[in-house]
Homo-oligomer: A and B are copies of this chain.
Amino acid sequence: MAESPHRAAGRRLQLPLLCLLLQGATAILFAVFVRYNHETDAALWHWGNHSNADNEFYFRYPSFQDVHVMVFVGFGFLMAFLQRYGFSSLGFTFLLAAFALQWSTLIQGFLHARHGGHICVGVESMINADFCAGAVLISFGAVLGKAGPAQLLLLALLETVLFGVNEFVLLSLLGVKDAGGSMTIHTFGAYFGLVLSRVLYRPQLEKSKHRQGSVYHSDLFAMIGTIFLWVFWPSFNSAPTTLGDGQHRTVLHTYYSLTASTLGTFALSALVGEHGRLDMVHIQNAVLAGGVVVGTAGEMMLTPFGALAAGFLAGSVSTLGYKFFTPILEAKFKVQDTCGVHNLHGMPGVLGALLGVLVAGLATHEAYGEGLDSVFPLIAAGQRTASSQAMHQLFGLLVTLMFASVGGGLGGILLRLPFLDSPPDSQCYEDQVYWEVPGELEDEAQGPLRVEEPVTQA
């Protein structure tokens, strides 16, 4: 490709140096701060007279593995819908999430460190790190195809910090409940990404328009992501809840909510489609809104009917968002939201937060019995009324939107640093900028790439 030697050399070094630097830094911090917790340490675990069956591992590992699949398989393939950006979607998902797992172990650990200044790790910290990676990947979805890997790593560096702080404020300071992360993961990740995308607005993006869509097989690859996300979402929402009825109930709600968002998505997609045809973009994404919308209320006594109603609403709103709101977002608000994260994570996340406000506000001792203590410990302890919990939940949403917006803005400024490698407008959504692509595609692609390049470099 006709690229200036200076630029190529810069690109050549930015990514590897940043990887090495970040890995070196986290390794040193791990050496100094990170220790086994009492369930992963051989001496500590065997010191008490535990039964092996009591190890938290057996209660949470199956859910953790499902979450892990969602982060890497789910997000990765869901974003592989673009015709020429599959390598980047899968590869950068890998890179960003791998770094976020390490870095958020440190950030979340510092904020919660209790044990002599040490960060103690085990299956719960692994779940929390994966959740942070999920938020980073949601934001990635908003700028997919328009940012280089070095930029994205810096983004993950910043977002992980803000994610940790926001989560700490909500869960630890405000006593907000948000097990499945309607607020802390989906709303945060989405609005972070949307503000970021606004700051990185590219008026000339139509130069890459011919690569912005899918082809038949890329849509099938994306469905791998969709289906694994859909199937494992009950594990996502239930992974960090209280054991026993808490996990069980959360799974149940998420399961039914997803079935309803699926029916809502098919109904609305066919209703608004040309000639009544279904749109793959809706099916790939909006069916998942049912998982997002019960992220907060899933562990509460939402009732199975409540799960259906919430899921149906979320799926419908999400589908309508793809059809009607995404174009407005770009035209009026200058937000180019590649994956439609506003429709899948933004609006359903906010709806989920509001659902949490509602269900928390309706909490009674009758409905929860002795279980109130696990779901709403502050209400059970008499420190809060249900209405007060609801107000705190609402305030948590506002705090999240604030952190996300400020974070996305800062992220945008960071990523616009002029020396950072970013794909030109004519080569967005294009793997060849960052990857050796096998011959077949290179030939196929020669036309447009060769033709447009001079324009870009001019």
B-contact bits for A351-388, CB 8 A (1 contact / 0 none): 00000000000000011111110110000000000000
Contacts A15-B266, A19-B263; A43 near B368 (Cβ below 8 A) = yes
Q: Which of B15, B35, B69, B262 is close to A276, meaning CB atoms less than 8 Å apart? A: B15
Which chain B residues lie closer than 8 Å to A397 at the CB level?
A: none
The residue on B at minimum CB distance from A260 is B23
User: CA of A65 to CA of B42 in the docked complex: distance in angstroms?
Assistant: 26
Is the contact region of chain A dominated by helix, strand, or loop, or is it mixed? helix
Which chain B residues lie closer than 8 Å to A34 at the CB level?
A: 304-305
Say whether A30 contacts B65, CB under 8 Å. Answer: no
B-contact bits for A319-336, CB 8 A (1 contact / 0 none): 000000000000000000
The residue on B at minimum CB distance from A149 is B266
Contacts A235-B65, A305-B31; A102 near B57 (Cβ below 8 A) = no
Q: Which of B27, B270, B301 is close to A15, meaning CB atoms less than 8 Å apart? A: B270
Say whether A267 contacts B16, CB under 8 Å. Answer: yes
| A441 contacts partner chain B, Cβ-Cβ < 8 Å | yes
Shortest distance between the CB of A283 and any CB in chain B (Å): 5
A50, A217, A366, A439 — most chain B CB neighbours (10 Å) = A217
Say whether A59 contacts B58, CB under 8 Å. Answer: yes
Shortest distance between the CB of A365 and any CB in chain B (Å): 9
The residue on B at minimum CB distance from A38 is B245
How many copies of this chain does one complex carry? 3
Say whether B66 contacts A369, CB under 8 Å. Answer: no
In A218-245, the 8 Å CB interface with B consists of 219-221, 223-224, 227-228, 230-232, 234-235, 243-245
User: CA of A226 to CA of B14 in the docked complex: distance in angstroms?
Assistant: 25
User: CA of A369 to CA of B47 in the docked complex: distance in angstroms?
Assistant: 7
Say whether A372 contacts B42, CB under 8 Å. Answer: yes
Residue total for A at the interface (Cβ-Cβ under 8 A): 141
User: CA of A270 to CA of B16 in the docked complex: distance in angstroms?
Assistant: 6
Say whether B27 contacts A65, CB under 8 Å. Answer: no
Say whether B43 contacts A231, CB under 8 Å. Answer: no
Say whether B87 contacts A40, CB under 8 Å. Answer: no
Which chain B residues lie closer than 8 Å to A147 at the CB level?
A: none
The residue on B at minimum CB distance from A130 is B255
Say whether B308 contacts A227, CB under 8 Å. Answer: no
Which chain B residues lie closer than 8 Å to A305 at the CB level?
A: 27, 30-31, 34
User: Which segment of A162-170, A192-200, A430-438, A446-454 sits at the interface?
Assistant: A430-438
B-contact bits for A9-22, CB 8 A (1 contact / 0 none): 10111011101101
Say whether B46 contacts A245, CB under 8 Å. Answer: yes
Say whether B276 contacts A57, CB under 8 Å. Answer: no
Which chain B residues lie closer than 8 Å to A179 at the CB level?
A: none
Which chain B residues lie closer than 8 Å to A266 at the CB level?
A: 15-16, 19, 91, 94-95, 149
User: CA of A319 to CA of B255 in the docked complex: distance in angstroms?
Assistant: 36
The residue on B at minimum CB distance from A8 is B275
User: CA of A10 to CA of B336 in the docked complex: distance in angstroms?
Assistant: 35
Q: Which of B90, B102, B215, B248 is close to A123, meaning CB atoms less than 8 Å apart? A: B248
Say whether A95 contacts B30, CB under 8 Å. Answer: no
Which chain B residues lie closer than 8 Å to A280 at the CB level?
A: 87, 91, 435-436, 438
Shortest distance between the CB of A146 and any CB in chain B (Å): 18
Say whether A308 contacts B76, CB under 8 Å. Answer: no
| A122 contacts partner chain B, Cβ-Cβ < 8 Å | yes
User: CA of A367 to CA of B276 in the docked complex: distance in angstroms?
Assistant: 60
Which chain B residues lie closer than 8 Å to A55 at the CB level?
A: 243-245, 247-248
Shortest distance between the CB of A20 and any CB in chain B (Å): 5
Shortest distance between the CB of A273 and any CB in chain B (Å): 7
Shortest distance between the CB of A100 and any CB in chain B (Å): 9
Q: Which of B122, B234, B247, B258 is close to A252, meaning CB atoms less than 8 Å apart? A: B122
| A413 contacts partner chain B, Cβ-Cβ < 8 Å | no
Say whether A23 contacts B72, CB under 8 Å. Answer: no
Q: Which of B149, B258, B267 is close to A20, meaning CB atoms less than 8 Å apart? A: B267
| A455 contacts partner chain B, Cβ-Cβ < 8 Å | no
Shortest distance between the CB of A259 and any CB in chain B (Å): 4
User: CA of A273 to CA of B244 in the docked complex: distance in angstroms?
Assistant: 51
Q: What are 8 A-to-B residue pairs whose CB atoms are below 8 Å?
A: A42-B374, A55-B247, A65-B231, A101-B255, A102-B256, A123-B251, A214-B438, A280-B438
The 8 closest A-B pairs by CB, nearest first: A43-B369, A12-B276, A42-B371, A46-B370, A52-B244, A19-B267, A45-B245, A98-B262
